[in-house]
Chain A
Amino acid sequence: MDNALNRSEQSKLAHHKCRSFYRRHRGSVLPGMINLLVLVALGALPVIAYLDGQIFWLDVATRLVILAIAAVSLNLVLGFCGLASFGHAAFIGIGAYAVGIPVYHETYGGFEMIAGYSGWWHLALAIAVSALFALVTGAISLRTRGVHFIMITMAFSQMMYYTLVSLQEYGADDGLSIDLRSELPLLNLDDPLHLFGLCFASLLGALLLSWTLVRSRFGKVLVAARSNEPRLKSLGVETYRYQLVAYVISGAMCGYAGALMANFTVFISPSMVEWSRSGELIFMVVFGGSAYLFGPVIGTAAFILLEYFLSRFTVYWHLPFGILLILVVLFLRGGVSGSIARLFSKRSAVSNSVSVNSTSVAEGSAPAIQGSSQARGEDTP
């Protein structure tokens, strides 16, 4: 029964092995510096622009940072475990409704058990319900692999979508306007700077959590299971449990991003859970480079900024955008981060191009480094 599909999956896994997290940590310092630079730019530029009176850019950056947290969470299962969840938008929806529903009831009465304005309560609810949803759906989904896993996670998120659509009290498809943002000590989330600060700090936290996980024994088991699950099983490692825990952490983190999103948009609707949103999250991760801790951040930034600037030029901007996606796949193997890493791992001596910023490579004009084959090939122990 170990049929062609499984074998081809395995051969594809071989492609991924080279992109192991260990390798990246051992690799050149320069990509790390670029990542740091992107992060600093992401944190500082919008704030400078805001203080300079260009207040709109802080909104773009806030949305970008929140989606980046969601992408980082998705990468916990997609990058570490090699399990592409096509249903992560469901967690964003859960997190957002975990803010919207308590605020709604605190304002208009009813359902006093959950009503409230407290941000702690909202975040706790978002994390708890997302984790629970991840536990239940993950327990079933993780029985499958590859494309089947993609489809079953999509199925669960579609069920969530239709559930939200049928919630008449919370506006059904029209969505629900949130009257007040979450109340947190010391912070006033109505102030765009405070909100951005919280989101940015959360992104740093999410990256730190991922980094810690990946270096822990837990993370090593996950990465090993991605490369050769049967071997680990034969060693007596219950990979299923590890993967389920990773899925739950990922879901909870994504739910947290959803709670931030609700505070940013002060509006929630089932359209947050459409399957195309889950797809966009996958694109952000793959675009940036799923094998890299920082890939999702770069991918999200490239995605959002491209979407924004291309749509300035023409209503037909989907055409150049589509062509760009195809070019990225054909010529930037391993996403943007992969290309950066390859560029520097080959010629780390040349260091004067640190100024490469997050969008530059994604502009698509950067030609491919020839011979992406070197990037695949060998295995990591």
Chain B
Amino acid sequence: MDYSILVAQAINGLQLGVLLFLLASGLTLTFGIMDLVNLSHASFYMLGAFICASLTLWTGSFLLSLVLAIVLTGLAALVIELGLVRRLYTLPHLDQVLATFGMILCLDTLVHIFWGPAGIVMPLPAWLNGQINIGEIVLPVYRLMIIAVGLLVAVLLYVLVSHTRTGMLIRAGASNRTMVSALGVDIKLLFSGVFVAGSVCAGLAGMMIAPITEASIGMGNEIIITAFVVVIIGGIGSIKGAFVAALLIGMIDTLGRAYLDTVFAAFMDTETAETAAPAISAMLIYLLMAVILAVRPQGLFPPRLR
């Protein structure tokens, strides 16, 4: 086996995992703390990508646009939380699913009206477009940066959740919501904060991926299911679980795509392997989830009751 390709694939898997973590962290927190099944979570992923891409084309600076886009995505999330989302927290899950699906339709259409249906291809600044060569191994700088940003956010979230008072409330909220509100904590403020922070994380993921793919309508709907799979495998409400599951799924999905046909070709003819491998590799993450849920119905790291 060629090691340089294997390393390249591992980097790609890691990058996908990190992006999934950015999405899933917000999802798992809103799910765990506010008990909100938010299908429209990935709409902020799309929104972040569109805002950042159009700002980059306009200002010419990726970094400036990134900062502005984070602020704007956060503002959008805040407005939506105040106007609508906070009224959904106490509803049954299925009602939440219906309402947040309605939000997806609205946000997708608004983006269509505002930016047109074509989507935006966004350039990457030259200083991020390079590669690092270590012997045979070629590492694209931008992908390394995505991984670095993702890991940084993961560390920040870890510190926030494990070592601050807010984090304590968040953890308490994930395990016992009624207790937290009984303590006299301003639960509304906490909820707004968590929702905005989670949405910004999703938006950041969109901003990170836009220079690789492009900003397009419905890009969120493609990844939201995978993000939910991450949340479920990791255990609802668990940041640690989301992190582990995101990296696991990123790796399995990428390596499955890359090597499954080779593996299959070892014990069946090439034709069958070429047909079966893409189908099975697309199924892998669902197989993984079904197996994990069959063995551990609460996921890998269910939050403990405190």
A residues near B (Cβ < 8 Å) are 1-5, 8, 12, 15-16, 78, 84, 140, 143-148, 150-152, 154-156, 158-159, 162-163, 165-166, 168, 275-276, 279, 282-283, 286-287, 290, 316, 318-319, 321-326, 328-330, 333
Contacts and interface: CB of A to CB of B under 8 A. Distances in A.
Nearest to A323: B106
SS of A interface (majority): helix
Contacts of A319: 105-106, 109-110, 113
A241 to B, nearest CB: 18
28 contacts: A3-B175, A4-B176, A4-B237, A5-B237, A8-B177, A140-B293, A140-B294, A144-B293, A147-B37, A147-B236, A155-B290, A156-B286, A158-B283, A166-B278, A168-B275, A282-B94, A282-B98, A286-B94, A318-B106, A318-B108, A319-B105, A319-B109, A319-B110, A322-B101, A326-B99, A326-B106, A329-B95, A329-B99
B253 to A, nearest CB: 13
Count chain B CB atoms within 10 A of each CB in A2, A4, A16 and give the residue with the most. Answer: A4
A155 B277 CA distance: 18
Interface stretch (B55-63, B83-91, B136-144): B83-91
Which are the 5 A-B pairs with shortest beta-carbon distances? A322-B105, A325-B102, A166-B279, A322-B106, A155-B286
Nearest to B294: A140
Nearest to A168: B275
Interface of B: 31-32, 35, 37, 84, 87-88, 91-99, 101-106, 108-110, 112-113, 174-177, 221, 225, 228-229, 232, 236-237, 275-276, 278-280, 282-283, 286-287, 289-290, 293-294, 297-299, 302-305
A324 B105 CA distance: 10
Contacts of B103: 322, 326
B297 A148 contact: yes
A4 B303 contact: yes
A140 B237 CA distance: 23
Contacts of A4: 32, 174-177, 237, 303, 305
Given A12-B92, A151-B289, A322-B104, 4 more contacts: A2-B305, A147-B93, A152-B293, A165-B279
B105 A154 contact: no
Pick the most buried of B97, B236, B276: most chain A CB atoms within 10 A of its CB: B97
Contacts of A146: 93
A275 B297 CA distance: 21
Contacts of A5: 32, 35, 236-237, 298, 302
A162 B37 contact: no
A287 B84 CA distance: 19
A143 B294 contact: yes
A316 B303 contact: no
Contacts of B237: 4-5
B290 A325 contact: no
Contacts of A12: 92-93
Contacts of A286: 94-95, 97-98
